[in-house]
């Protein structure tokens, strides 16, 4: 319990920009990966540095990258920070990190394919990638799409010019799209996790969830595989909270 609360009660750690439920879920996932002390971890985008400081206190060698380093200026100088436009190159050498963590960042990028390609490049073979992004595949968001016809609001050219790239959700993705980007870049998804359970969604929308599940059961195996129905019918996706957390591992490469 102390580990779950450490991010919110320890005064030396900056306040997380992402919701505390995401940080709590991700820190528990990292603990289960059993990385050795001193493993090299990249927090990208690092924001104020809440996760970076936490991982530093756990004994990892932590690096961070963000387009705005002013917000993390007060954290420990032993955490190496680099400025980076994540639509372009990540400024670290190839095969360098044991773990890359990206919380609520990819949906703000113009070029998510480039970002994941760079994540794969800087990860060593066998390294892990933890990615969180808004869950637009849960039942609530599916119903919103049915009635609105879109997953998010329209961002005008004037608003984009005024605020610049990254100020809002520019690239929300379904799990099928996320999985496609990951696997195209030698990152094999291991499992999905939720940030929290939306109890109102579970209580009021479970009949729709049951209908979705029955529909999926009626589909032939090739169709289920084509649309990743095993994942899309999972509890983490359908009844999960506002964010979906995926854990992937980089291919070890071909043996010679």
Max alpha carbon distance in the chain (Å)?
56
Sign of the dihedral defined by the CA atoms of residues 232, 97, 17, 104, in that order: negative
Domain extents in the chain:
2-250
User: What's the pLDDT tens digit per position in 41-66?
Assistant: 999 999 999 999 999 999 999 999 99
User: What's the pLDDT tens digit per position in 94-137?
Assistant: 999 999 999 999 999 999 999 999 999 999 999 999 999 999 99
Can you give the pLDDT at residue 12? 64
- Please state which CATH number belongs to domain 2-250: 3.40.50.150
The pTM score is: 0.91
Cα angle: 167, vertex 90, 68; to 5 degrees: 40
């Amino acid at each position: 319990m102390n580990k779950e609360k450490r991010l919110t009660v320890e005064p030396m750690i900056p306040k997380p920009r992402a919701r505390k439920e995401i940080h709590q879920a991700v820190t528990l996932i990292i603990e289960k990966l059993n990385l050795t002390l001193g493993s090299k971890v990249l927090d990208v985008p690092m924001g104020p540095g809440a996760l970076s400081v936490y991982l530093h206190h756990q004994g990892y060698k932590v690096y961070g990258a963000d387009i705005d380093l002013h917000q993390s200026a007060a954290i420990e100088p032993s955490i190496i920070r680099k400025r980076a436009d994540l639509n372009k190159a990540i400024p670290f050498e190839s095969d360098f990190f044991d773990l890359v963590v990206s919380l609520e960042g990819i949906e703000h990028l113009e070029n998510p394919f480039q970002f994941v390609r760079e994540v794969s490049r800087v990860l060593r073979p066998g390294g892990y990638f933890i990615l969180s992004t808004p869950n637009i595949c849960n039942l609530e968001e599916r119903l919103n799409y049915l009635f609105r016809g879109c997953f998010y609001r329209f961002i005008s050219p004037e608003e984009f010019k005024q605020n610049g790239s990254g100020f809002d959700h520019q690239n929300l993705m379904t799990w099928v799209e996320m999985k496609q980007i990951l696997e195209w870049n030698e990152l094999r998804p291991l499992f999905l996790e939720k940030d929290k359970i939306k109890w109102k969604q579970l209580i009021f929308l479970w009949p729709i969830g049951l209908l979705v599940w029955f529909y999926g059961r009626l589909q032939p195996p090739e169709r289920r595989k084509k649309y990743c129905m095993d994942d899309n019918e999972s509890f983490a996706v359908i009844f999960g909270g506002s964010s979906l957390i995926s854990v992937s591992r980089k291919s070890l490469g071909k043996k010679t």
